[in-house]
Structure 1
Amino acid sequence: MADFRGFLCWTPETAAATINTEAVSPSRAVFLATHAPLRIRRAGLDGRAIVSDGPLIDENTVLKDFLSLQSDTGALLLPIVGDSGTGKSHLVRWVRENLPPSDKYKVIYLEKAKTSLRAVIDALLADADSGALAQLRADIHRFTDGVDSATLSRRLVNALSESLAATTARDVPQHARPLAGPRGLTVVLQDPHVSAFMLGQGKFIPRLAEQLLQDRMDGEPDRPMAFTMDDLPTDLLDLHRAAQVTIKLINVISGNTQLQQAAVDLLNQHLEAAVKRVASLGAGRLQDAMLQVRREYARKGKEIILLIEDFALIQGVQKDLLDAVIEAANRYGSTTLAPIRTLMAVTTGYFSDLPETALTRVRATAGYVYNLNVPFTRDDRGESEITSFVGRYLNAARVGRDALENEGGQQVRNPCETCDLVSRCHEQFGVTSEGYGLYPFNSSALVRTIHATAPRNDPYAFVPRTVLGSVIRPVLVDHAGALKEGTFPDTRFRTQFPTADIDEPLSTDVQEVVEAEDHLDADRRKIVLEFWGGAPDHAGALPSAVIEAFALEARTFSGTSATPRQPVRVQPEEREKQQAETETTTEKLPRSLQAKVSAVEDWLTREQVLPQAVASDLRTVIATAVAQRYRWVNPLMREQTQATIRSAWPLNARVVSIEGATENIQGADTAPIKFKRTARNSRYLRSVLLLKNGQPAQRAEHVRRLSTDADRYTASLTTALQKNLQITDDDLVLGLRAALIGAALAGLAWPGMDEAELLAIAFADGRSWARQDAADRESAWSRALEGHLQYRTPLVERLRDALGVAQGEGKARMIDAARALPLLRRAVAQWDWQVTGSDIPEWVKKAVRNFADWTDMVEAQNASLRRKLDGIRRHHPRGTTGAQVLAAVRDALLAAVDASIPVPLAIRAEITERLARAQDADWKILNQLEDDLLRAEEPEAPEAARITAAVRDRGVTIQVISGLLQASDAWLTTALEHAASRTNTHGDEAARGVQELLTEWRSLSAPEEDR
């Protein structure tokens, strides 16, 4: 058995080829098959104004009027007036297609798509065989064949310039006099720099030139009819390149809107003259030709029927053509020119600019125009007319262009008649009076989609071109795939067709039920309920065929009947009654609060943008509730000031993001608190507004939800605070590592130490730190330590604030070790500083200014220590004791005294002092240093070994021992030389004793195998 699921009774390709938005595009067969009666009003004239209170008529009345009205001059002019897309061209074509065949008439038809000069002249002069007319046609052909659009554009600018140069102050209003004459607007056009701007891509002149040379193609957008302010060179970035007189005039125009409009008007007034000049149509040549045409047909006894689909697009010949068609046929009691009946489509704006002579002719003959700007009123919604119009196009899309053309378009077959689903389809989706099914629309969906695409200032307007191009074609062509796949209508449909102000939206109550109970397709079901269901008062009000066609789950909803009802369109008066009842329930609220609550309702039901003031109130309440509930205990953290909290947790979209609110702010897409456009959220947000203003919430659960949300998002506030204060886990790991490397520079921390010791050292402010071995430190090491200690206190204070516990806003008094220890372990996992500047928190940067060279400093310091140790080992090899070295020095000193070798008092005092200091030194430190260096110097030594060797503070031992050995070695070397001198000359026994002592001293420095 056939069903509706994924059912298409058309193909997208056929629909696209058949449904045209332009009256000139379809063939005669398609045109006749899709024609539906237009809304036409006979409208009188009050001066140039169109009087709106005239009778509604149909196309047949227009045709009858056009053929029967008599003009005492033999020249009838009937304008069809309307905005773009209202069907003006369609009506002109309908008249053409329905003109009764008659040898009495000569029909001249100017199509909207054929507005090139060549096409217009050929159509006007067709079948006219005089030599002058043939010459005119030949001239136009030669002109259009021999020029391209770029050349024609330049010629048009030059012709405009010449025409403007001939103007005088009397030709323009007083305020526009600076634009007249040879030093007026013409100098702007003559300037090469400015003319290049006016000839740029997209400007009016090049587009006009293209239009004069080429007919309009199918699908091409409407062509420009005149200059606008955008075509004026008032915003040139490099105006300085223009001539001074040009610069001066442009500056005057740029600062005066009234003068800008005058310049546009002046250009448009001289545009036709410029076109005629470049096309050799000057001096009324076309008017004379048309009058000659009329004379020829007068001799043949014919009456001319002139049909113009869009008068505004016949650039360059409008004035001459008007003058020719209103020229009286009857003169001095005889007919010298063929009578002419002109039916022309013209836009509302262009109609008001018609020459007074033409308007006089209209007023003097028919006295009215055909006005197509006829909207549906609240009392006259014209739903039957809408469905009839659309039904014809839906049927044509099912039949297809080729079939329609084969059938001739008169007797159009109806595929619905042979469809297996016809009964159910027509019953539940609807059918027109002509028998055409509305599927995939129904009456409600049609009206709502048309309202959604109508101008906001005229919501009841029915613009055929808009209906076809923005409603019918998109659904049949663009959405066909989604319908077949069971995903129609989707979010794209909702975006294309927002709820119109004049239509009742789907209520919050129904949306809430759908969201709660339809877990598969809540969003799609809500769209279907609103458009196809007519926004009913319960969620089950959808016909079974609609549910099936759109692949929705058939189910019964809470509080609804299992049997769906047909969609009911809410009448305007009923909607006003419902609105009045709603207002009564909230009448006790202040007016401003009522408006905000209503705005949240419209945000949901009409998908309107949430006003900024309302969104701001909601964000303030919700974000503040989270901040006020914050306890500063998970994790433990020092309580921050309100200013700090507000900086990290601003009352804007970076914290609370609301779908459908204006959120042009960076970070809104990652806001921790997000509200989707749902019925549940709509009710909740309305309650938030009420609570903010001291009113009870709509539901008690909303108060609980606000409290729950305040607790729920505390983790997000923690993250925001940590990020804003730069105390995230990653930041704190860098801070702890900086504190530990700083302590290492001070000789207080190195790899492998106990975690408790490292933790204590990391939080020490370092105010009392000073290395005892400062003299043994490299200069770079000392500078790095000094720089770090200068900024260590604020570094440590930030660590304490982030990882400590305080009372109120006081200093941290206790460290949260449970959180700190894991971070410490991450920090000591690597004892280097391979960090880029952008990754370093601001509060760390000053304390690590020289840390980038940390690895080099370690290597340099170890090399320095190796050199010092090697110097000591020359006089104190490993295996000898400090006591032996001290005894050797003392014995040498005493022997020298006994041998009468001179020992200056200063040297004796220095060595004696150094001996005393060395006596108190810990000589074992030398072996510890050597062991550390040996481990650091192994080929595969770990980084920890190198760092440990470099950072240990070994006090003054190295400096004291090294100083003693160096001073003793220098003195004893001098004493040895003196003793040797005495032995060689005198054989002094005492001197030989000194030599023996010195030899013993030397032996302390010799390698062990040589001793």
Structure 2
Amino acid sequence: MNLINYWPQSEYVTQCIRTEAEELAEHVLLAVHEPMQLLRIGAGVDQLCDEKNLLDHFLSIERPVPIIGRSGVGKSHLIRWMDAKLKLHSDYHSWHVVRIPKNASLRQVLELLLAGLEGEEFEQARSRISTVGEQLKTEAVADLLLTFMSQQLNKLHQDAAQMMAYYREHPESQVTLSDAEKQRLRDIQTYTLPGRGLSELITDSNFKKNLLNPEHCIYQFASRLTHGATDHELIRNDYQIKDGDLDFSFNLDDLSLSARQCVSTTQLNTNQVAREGAARVLNEVLGESTRTVFGYLFQFNGGGFQDLFKEVRRSLKKQNRTLVVLVEDMAAISAIEDVLIDSLLEESLRDGKQELCTLRSAIAVTDGYQGYLRRQDTIKTRAQYEWHIREHGQDRELTLERIIDFCGRYLNAARYGSEVLKSSWRVRESDSWPPVWSDSDDDGDDLKAFGYASSGIPLFPFNRNAIEALADNFCRKGDEELKFNPRQVLNEILLRTLSDYREACLLKAFPPADFAGIRVKTGLSGALQKLEKPERCKTVAAIWGYDSRSVEDLQSKMDGRVASVFGLDGLAALLKDRVSVYVAPPSRGMVSETSSRYEKSGALKGVSLEQVDADQEKLQLLEESVTLWFQRKKKLGQTEARILRAGLLWIYEQYAHFDWMGIREKLSLKSGAFVLIDLPYAESNVTGSKISFCLEKDFKIPKKSEFLQGVALALLRYDFYNPKFNGAIEWGYPNGFEDFLLYQSFAASWVPDVLQTLTVEARQILPSLLGKQLHSAITLGLLADSNNDRQRLNELLRTSEEVRAFEIPAIVPELRQAREQVLTAWNDQREDWLKLVSANDHGVDGDLALNAFKNAKTYQNPQIAKLSSLINQSLRSSISVVEVLDGCTRQDVFCSLLDEMADLVRDISDGGEHYPVNPGFPSAKKMRASLVDLKGSENWRVVKDLLAVREEMDVVRHLQRVNQIDGQRLEQVVEVLTNWKFFYSYVLPRLESENKKSGGDILKQSQDSVTRLLDEMTETVTDLWEESHECA
């Protein structure tokens, strides 16, 4: 047989599957009606009831019966069902039934109320309604609505002022005020100030332009009064003013003075909280203003709506008829809700005499509707009960069964089409209408493979699993329980599937890959990847084999003939060993099957079957958490995230070879006990993690997401069998080999990326590390003989031992201490940067190191300049001593000068009278010998370099010069010249004194010698000064 006949034709889908009850023909509505579950709330204990209980209560009470439910649960449908049932009642001929659709305009509401009523007063009312209705323009009504809102705001201010005055006089009464009421009074006080409040703002000619925009709430509200509303508009709008409706994206100078004062005083243009408060106040007056508009527009013979309603009831009383009012949505009668409710509550008896007809009424109310909440206590008290439509609170299986039966009813009706249903309704012979549709051919095994609803209706092209999969994904949020929301079921299950894919099914191309965005479980994905058309196979397995985690699991949940009907012969062959025919929902338990499979395979020897079943349940929870994580429905839990990070760290530790990247040491992925690996959309990510398991965008790429999902599950399963990755049984567990292949494949791509990322990250500090050692080299003066960066880098490659081997004594203690400090840290500094560019002791990535070195030269170290300054201070005494030789430009001059100094010592000594005799001062012989000993080239270089240091301003060159001076030789030079300086200062005044006394040859000879020596020294200083400037 050809199953395509069980797929409703497109025109029948359009006729019979509608999301709004009022769009369905009455016979279709009865054909698809799914019995509702109601909760009766009133005095005493709340009670679960059915539709018959509701109908019986409705027919027994003359009070408006409130039917309450969330949007989409079927309130309008229930009202229409009541209307249809009343038509079957034996007393229907004596009832005047008025059903007000939820998308009706104000004019339509009034016309429906008066339909079929005869009499002059009703003709006049209809004429008035027609005349006013034809003249109503949405723009004019919206403008009128703003005018009345302005008046209501002023009245609201007065009422609030009186209330606040009362509470000031009676402070003890303030304790009875709720927080919400206190906030309300504050809002009114803030936004309704006379002369500069919202009243002035909303009637300002420029600001009003925005409010009268067709997209604005005020205009939409007026449009509903004048023309009604489409289903799309009802879903989109809740007809409440929001803070976003108060738009100030224009020049405020265009507003009137009072309007500008309102904006500036309340900060409406800058403060969202202020706009929210203003919206609350406007909504408070919106309803009353709407009712004022209605009273202004519609007057009936000098009276109002209540008077007209009484006339209707008096007229029907004369005819001995009952008035029945059914309101599909209370919001549809917002303009007359108060007067209508007052009318519905009015007793038919007065002073024991019935003056008005009997009245039955029911009003559907969306949960939380403010118009109802204002009158809730009155309505509930008079009506005795509220009837709430239940969408959840049942056992999951019962809710799912309701959804399946609901789908079955619509499928059955759509297979007939509206016209056939209408014909069969007229000639129905039993309550079991409509009968189950069937093809003219006998039902075959293919149809049975898709299963049936509890009513016996074939579910093709769905099966129970498919309906459950779509319901779980679209009829609940996150961890919430499954809900029965008819509108969602119609849109997301039936229309999503039936509207566009009939021809595709005929061509065996249904379902397409990734249909409905539902993904197959990770454990099953790998096996299906090998099949022909793998992506479609995965989609069928994910939906028609919902929640299957393995091939064996899929075999137990989905008949292979389902795959065959969809043109997936490879998948059908995979499932042929385990054929199941669905008549009832499949058992969700898998314990015995799992246990027997493990027992047969011999896996996990020594483990009890009870433990295997418990383990399997835990593994399924792990798989569920990973699946929800990748579907972005739930964050990966803290425990699973910790295990996954540990697994990724384990992979890294096993496969990371940094020598391939030219790095000596393995870089750590831990900070204390924390693993620095980021898991997108997971708990407990550590701030500052540089490595990710994957990118967030990878979740949206099907193939990549599927692979990563398998890797995550493989690592979690491995840890389950090998706690803390201890390798207890390695990969020797069920499906371990597949996990191992995923693990290997992932490691082959992920680890190199990690190495690259960590290497780049680690080498970002390479210039600063090189900079530290560069500054150490400057302190040691190592770069004096280097002409380019490559030579300078080679200096940094020397070890501290090699540097010390060529070290000469420091000239001052500060330099000695600085040298020791940098040499102590030298090898560590060298190793810090060298390990980032060299995998061993034999080679360096020269280009990388040189590029980093160029950047390192830009780093500044203030300690270098400080050290240079300290050395200069310490050298001042030595320089002042050596300056006695200032003027020597060549070594021969230097030596000649020393000879003359030695001769002078000799001459003074030979005289015997003027040589210093201070204790500790060297003898003339030793003095002469020490002066002669200074004539060596090494000492000349010390003197020359020290004198040059005085003029060096560049810090780097200054440190290079002081490091080239032998401190030990400098000490010797300073000692000798210090003695000479003392000798000179001691001898000269004595010679001058003796010269004055005797004028002898000795004095003349000594003066000539001293004069000659001083002239030569002056000449030497001049030459040395010129030479030093040429060097600079």
TM-score, structure 2 as length reference: 0.59
Contact 1:39 1:374 in 2 (8 A): no
Pairing partner for 1:378 from 346, 370, 395:
395
Identify, as 1 or 2, the structure richer in helix.
2
Q: Alpha-carbon deviation of 1:201? A: 5.4
Pairing partner for 2:342 from 309, 323, 333:
323
Q: Alpha-carbon deviation of 1:233? A: 3.3
Q: Alpha-carbon deviation of 1:25? A: 0.2
1:520 lines up with 2:518 in the alignment: no
Instruction: Tell me, in whole angstroms, the C-alpha distance in 1 between the residues paired with 2:745 and 2:496.
Output: 45
| Structure 2 partner of 1:35 | 32
Instruction: Give the 3-state SS of the residue equivalent to 2:362 in structure 1.
Output: strand
Instruction: Give the 3-state SS of the residue equivalent to 2:356 in structure 1.
Output: coil
Q: Alpha-carbon deviation of 1:467? A: 1.5
1:716 lines up with 2:731 in the alignment: no
Contact 1:82 1:373 in 2 (8 A): yes
Q: Alpha-carbon deviation of 1:208? A: 0.7
| Structure 1 partner of 2:357 | 338
Pairing partner for 1:263 from 258, 281, 295:
281
Q: Alpha-carbon deviation of 1:548? A: 1.7
Instruction: Give the 3-state SS of the residue equivalent to 1:297 in structure 2.
Output: helix
Pairing partner for 1:463 from 485, 496, 502:
485
| Structure 2 partner of 1:188 | 198
Instruction: Give the 3-state SS of the residue equivalent to 1:20 in structure 2.
Output: coil
| Structure 2 partner of 1:149 | 138
Kindly provide the amino acid, as one letter, of the partner of residue 445 in structure 2: R
Instruction: Tell me, in whole angstroms, the C-alpha distance in 1 between the residues paired with 2:590 and 2:381.
Output: 44
Contact 2:43 2:385 in 1 (8 A): no
Instruction: Tell me, in whole angstroms, the C-alpha distance in 2 between the residues paired with 1:210 and 1:87.
Output: 25
CA RMSD of aligned residues (A): 5.6
Instruction: Give the 3-state SS of the residue equivalent to 1:538 in structure 2.
Output: helix
Contact 2:522 2:549 in 1 (8 A): no
Pairing partner for 2:12 from 11, 14, 25:
14
Contact 1:375 1:458 in 2 (8 A): no
| Structure 1 partner of 2:782 | none
| Structure 2 partner of 1:503 | none
Deviations 1:33-73 (A, max 9, x none): x33342233613149xxx64233344xx5444433x1x5xx
| Structure 2 partner of 1:548 | 564
Q: Alpha-carbon deviation of 1:122? A: 1.0
| Structure 1 partner of 2:320 | 301
Pairing partner for 1:177 from 155, 178, 185:
185
Pairing partner for 1:350 from 337, 347, 369:
369
Kindly provide the amino acid, as one letter, of the partner of residue 285 in structure 2: L
Contact 1:140 1:279 in 2 (8 A): no
Q: 1:384 to 1:160 in 2, by over 3 A?
A: same
Contact 1:85 1:463 in 2 (8 A): yes
| Structure 2 partner of 1:439 | 460
Q: Alpha-carbon deviation of 1:323? A: 1.0
Contact 2:68 2:366 in 1 (8 A): yes
Instruction: Tell me, in whole angstroms, the C-alpha distance in 2 between the residues paired with 1:287 and 1:159.
Output: 21
Q: 1:150 to 1:12 in 2, by over 3 A?
A: same
Instruction: Tell me, in whole angstroms, the C-alpha distance in 2 between the residues paired with 1:391 and 1:644.
Output: 56
Kindly provide the amino acid, as one letter, of the partner of residue 466 in structure 1: Q
Superposition pairs for residues 506-655 of structure 1, below 5 Å? 514=528, 520=534, 522-528=537-543, 530-531=545-546, 538-541=553-556, 542-553=558-569, 561-564=577-580, 566=582, 569=585, 599-600=625-626, 602-603=628-629, 608-610=634-636, 618=644, 622=648, 625-626=651-652, 629-634=655-660, 636=662, 651=678
Instruction: Tell me, in whole angstroms, the C-alpha distance in 2 between the residues paired with 1:492 and 1:673.
Output: 14
Q: Alpha-carbon deviation of 1:812? A: 9.6
Kindly provide the amino acid, as one letter, of the partner of residue 48 in structure 2: G
Contact 2:521 2:549 in 1 (8 A): no
Kindly provide the amino acid, as one letter, of the partner of residue 209 in structure 1: A
| Structure 2 partner of 1:106 | 96
Superposition pairs for residues 119-130 of structure 1, below 5 Å? 119-128=108-117
Superposition pairs for residues 508-907 of structure 1, below 5 Å? 514=528, 520=534, 522-528=537-543, 530-531=545-546, 538-541=553-556, 542-553=558-569, 561-564=577-580, 566=582, 569=585, 599-600=625-626, 602-603=628-629, 608-610=634-636, 618=644, 622=648, 625-626=651-652, 629-634=655-660, 636=662, 651=678, 663=695, 676=707, 678-679=709-710, 681-687=712-718, 693=724, 699-700=730-731, 709-710=746-747, 713=750, 715-717=752-754, 720=757
| Structure 1 partner of 2:965 | none
Instruction: Tell me, in whole angstroms, the C-alpha distance in 2 between the residues paired with 1:612 and 1:207.
Output: 48
Instruction: Tell me, in whole angstroms, the C-alpha distance in 2 between the residues paired with 1:262 and 1:576.
Output: 60
Q: Alpha-carbon deviation of 1:517? A: 7.0
Instruction: Tell me, in whole angstroms, the C-alpha distance in 2 between the residues paired with 1:20 and 1:54.
Output: 28
| Structure 1 partner of 2:889 | none
Q: 1:122 to 1:577 in 2, by over 3 A?
A: farther
Q: Alpha-carbon deviation of 1:24? A: 0.5
Pairing partner for 1:81 from 34, 56, 68:
68
1:92 lines up with 2:79 in the alignment: yes
Q: Alpha-carbon deviation of 1:476? A: 0.8
Q: Alpha-carbon deviation of 1:18? A: 2.8
Instruction: Tell me, in whole angstroms, the C-alpha distance in 1 between the residues paired with 2:708 and 2:667.
Output: 34
Instruction: Tell me, in whole angstroms, the C-alpha distance in 1 between the residues paired with 2:703 and 2:363.
Output: 61
Q: Alpha-carbon deviation of 1:626? A: 3.8
| Structure 1 partner of 2:946 | none
Instruction: Tell me, in whole angstroms, the C-alpha distance in 2 between the residues paired with 1:652 and 1:531.
Output: 27
Q: Alpha-carbon deviation of 1:110? A: 1.1
| Structure 2 partner of 1:925 | none
Contact 1:451 1:459 in 2 (8 A): no
1:393 lines up with 2:410 in the alignment: yes
Structure 1 unpaired stretches of 5+: 499-505, 728-759, 769-804, 824-840, 848-1011
Contact 1:622 1:706 in 2 (8 A): no
Q: Alpha-carbon deviation of 1:120? A: 0.8
Q: Alpha-carbon deviation of 1:344? A: 2.0
TM-score, structure 1 as length reference: 0.60
Q: 1:346 to 1:614 in 2, by over 3 A?
A: same
| Structure 2 partner of 1:25 | 23
Q: Alpha-carbon deviation of 1:157? A: 1.7
Structure 2 unpaired stretches of 5+: 165-180, 596-607, 681-688, 765-786, 796-832, 858-1032
Contact 1:489 1:527 in 2 (8 A): no
Q: 1:596 to 1:184 in 2, by over 3 A?
A: farther
Instruction: Tell me, in whole angstroms, the C-alpha distance in 2 between the residues paired with 1:671 and 1:346.
Output: 43
Q: Alpha-carbon deviation of 1:372? A: 1.7
Pairing partner for 1:272 from 290, 297, 303:
290
Kindly provide the amino acid, as one letter, of the partner of residue 262 in structure 2: V
Q: Alpha-carbon deviation of 1:553? A: 2.7
Instruction: Tell me, in whole angstroms, the C-alpha distance in 2 between the residues paired with 1:429 and 1:231.
Output: 49
Instruction: Tell me, in whole angstroms, the C-alpha distance in 2 between the residues paired with 1:290 and 1:608.
Output: 55
Q: 1:278 to 1:688 in 2, by over 3 A?
A: farther
Contact 2:329 2:363 in 1 (8 A): yes
Kindly provide the amino acid, as one letter, of the partner of residue 524 in structure 1: T
Instruction: Tell me, in whole angstroms, the C-alpha distance in 2 between the residues paired with 1:583 and 1:266.
Output: 64
Q: How many residues align?
A: 735
Q: Alpha-carbon deviation of 1:381? A: 0.3
Kindly provide the amino acid, as one letter, of the partner of residue 542 in structure 2: I
Instruction: Give the 3-state SS of the residue equivalent to 2:492 in structure 1.
Output: helix
Contact 2:626 2:636 in 1 (8 A): yes
1:424 lines up with 2:445 in the alignment: yes
Contact 1:303 1:340 in 2 (8 A): yes
| Structure 2 partner of 1:943 | none
Q: Alpha-carbon deviation of 1:394? A: 0.8
1:493 lines up with 2:506 in the alignment: no
Contact 1:163 1:274 in 2 (8 A): no
